[in-house]
Amino acid sequence: QVRIVDSGGGLVQPGGSLRLSCATSGSTFTSYHIKWYSQALGKERELVALITKDGSITTYADSVRERFPISRDDVKFEAYLQMNHLKPEDTAVYYCNARRDSTRFGNYWGQGTQVVVSS
């Protein structure tokens, strides 16, 4: 079992920055792809960013590309979403997800961290 704690959300003004962290229990961290999802109030959960288990590939939603780089630290067993130039429409609960090559082999979620972008 993989335990995930996602954190780093908060209240920030438009144009500001936050860094979300995804801390895992480690052990087999390098076997897991990491994704960040967002879920705004009344909306469905949607993919924000992905980094593959070896860090070789990153993908982003069009709305955050070049603003929200995703990264991972395989020594600390952590992944990050650096959120820059935040906009009010970024307001949502953000969730970290860790999964193996197939969800049948492992699929874990953090509890979510709230991001509010408002002046």
pLDDT in tens, 16-73: 999 999 999 877 899 999 999 999 999 999 999 999 999 999 999 999 999 999 999 9
Q: Compute the average pLDDT of residues 113-119.
A: 97
Please tell me the predicted confidence (pLDDT) of residue 28: 86
Closest CA to 48 of 11, 16, 24, 20: 20
Read off φ and ψ for residue 43, nearest 5 degrees: -115, 160
Please tell me the predicted confidence (pLDDT) of residue 2: 85
pLDDT in tens, 59-113: 999 999 999 999 999 999 999 999 999 999 999 999 999 999 998 999 999 999 9
The burial of 116, by beta-carbon neighbours within 10 Å (0-12 exposed, 13-18 middle, 19 or more buried), is given as middle
CA-based end-to-end distance of the chain: 40
Please tell me the predicted confidence (pLDDT) of residue 10: 98
Residue 24 burial (CB count, 10 A):
23
For residue 43, the 8-state DSSP code is S
